[in-house]
Amino acid sequence: MSELLSGPDARSLSDLRGRTDLRGRAEALDAADPLAGKRKAFVLDDTVYLDGNSLGALPAHVPARVADVIERQWGELRIRSWGESGWWSAPERIGDRVAPLVGAAPGQIVVGDSTSVNVFKALVAAVRMVRDTDGGAPDEGRDEILVDATTFPTDGYIARSAARLTGCRVIPAAPAEVPAALGPRTAAVLLNHADYRTGRLHDLPGLTAAVHAAGALAVWDLCHTAGALPVGLDEHGVALAVGCTYKYLNGGPGSPAYLYVRRDLQERFDSPLPGWNSHAEPFGMRPGFEAADGVTRGRVGTPDILSMLALEAALDVWDGVSVDAVRAKSLALTDFFLRCVDAYVPEGLVESLTPEAHAERGSQVALRCSPELSTSFEQGGAPIAGDVMKRLIEQGVVGDFRAPDVLRFGFTPLYVSFADAERAARVLARTLGA
Q: What is the distance between the alpha carbons of residues 385 and 368, in angstroms, rounded to a whole number?
A: 8
Please return the burial class of 282, using the count of CB atoms within 10 Å of its CB with bins 0-12, 13-18 and 19+. Answer: middle
Gap between the Cα atoms of 362 and 331, Å rounded: 8
Task: Report the distance separating Cα 89 and Cα 66, nearest Å.
Answer: 17
Helical packing angle, 323-344 and 7-32, nearest 10°:
170
Query: DSSP letter at 74?
Result: I
- Number of helices and strands (H, E) in the chain? 13, 13
* Exposure string for 128-159, b = 16+ CB within 10 A, e = fewer: bbbbeeeeeeebeebbbbbbbebbbeebbebb
With 0-12 / 13-18 / 19 or more C-beta atoms within 10 angstroms meaning exposed / middle / buried, residue 368 is middle
221 assigned to active site: yes
Which of these is catalytic: 49, 152, 196, 344? 152
Q: What is the CB-side half-sphere exposure of residue 334 using CA atoms within 13 A?
A: 31
246 is catalytic: yes
Catalytic residue chosen out of the listed positions 131, 142, 200, 247: 247
Q: Which residue among the candidates 33, 155, 221, 387 is catalytic per the annotation?
A: 221
Spot the catalytic one: 128, 299, 329, 408: 408
Report the C-alpha gap between 107 and 265 in whole angstroms. Answer: 12
Q: Taking the chain, what is the end-to-end CA distance rounded to the nearest angstrom?
A: 24
- The values of phi and psi at residue 186, to 5°, are -75, 125
Q: What distances in angstroms separate CA 415 from CA 42, 47, 121, 329, 362, one per listed residue?
A: 7, 12, 34, 11, 17
Residue 152 bears catalytic tag: yes
From the list 42, 120, 196, 246, the catalytic residue is 246
Compute the distance between CA of residue 82 and CA of residue 89 in angstroms, rounded to an integer.
8
Active site (catalytic) residues: 152, 221, 246-247, 408
